[in-house]
Amino acid sequence: MNEKIRFKKIIRLLEKKYPSAGTTLFENKDPFRFLICVILSAQCTDAKVNSCAKQLFKEYPSDRALSHAPILRLKSILKPLGLANAKSEYVRTVAGIESEKGIEWTMQGLQRLPGVGRKTANVVLSEMFGISEGIAVDTHCARISKRLGLTFSENPIEIERDLTSLASKNKWGKITHLFIAHGRNICKARKPKCNICLLADMCPSCAKI
């Protein structure tokens, strides 16, 4: 089967399986707050981010207030997320940039911000502005892509390139969410549930992990 056709079928099956797949971050209406939450989500669950973000924005409701927040207080609020030292600095610096001159909401502009890489920029542009610059490759996306034989790379940039070459651009923003949902429910890092996976007949890794 042609790889583009195979990937199209994979996406179609996952869309039927996970029709409501999407961001689980609560702060998903305001671009600035959403950006902060995505930065905080590094190596952390969205559930923990939602809990900490609620307290963070309660105490510092504006970008200006957040930019002047005492660093020790930020570390205390963000401690449950891990990497609190770095995340506190990122949050306060990004808030200062938004307050003083405004964030440039482009791939290049976002990647100039501390704590923001291509994955974070892809997520923000897709979720907040409906702009598909690429595919956000997180751990679930990378793992499932390799297991399905859609890529043979370990490099997120190369994985993204392989996936975007196979998928229609109007699906780019959805692919990450579909793979995350499937990774959390079926194609787990350890002990994937291959026996009940709807992609089993198209997966070269089925029952081999």
At the top level of CATH, the class of 31-129 is mainly alpha
User: Quick check: is 4 catalytic?
Assistant: no
Mean pLDDT of the chain: 95
pLDDT digits (tens, 9 = 90+) for 109-124: 999 999 999 999 999 9
Write down the catalytic residue from 138, 162, 171, 174. 138
Q: What is the mean pLDDT of residues 67-90?
A: 97
List, by residue range, all CATH 1.10.340.30 domains of the chain: 31-129
> Which candidate in 87, 119, 171, 174 is catalytic?
119
Q: Which numeric CATH code is attached to 3-22+135-202? A: 1.10.1670.10
For 194, counting Cβ atoms within 10 Å of its Cβ (0-12 exposed, 13-18 middle, 19+ buried), the class is middle
In the chain, CATH 1.10.1670.10 covers 3-22+135-202
Say whether 30 is catalytic.
Answer: no
Distances (CA, A) of 34 to 118, 120, 139, 153: 15, 10, 20, 30
Residue 150 reports pLDDT greater than 80? yes
- For the whole model, what pTM was predicted? 0.90
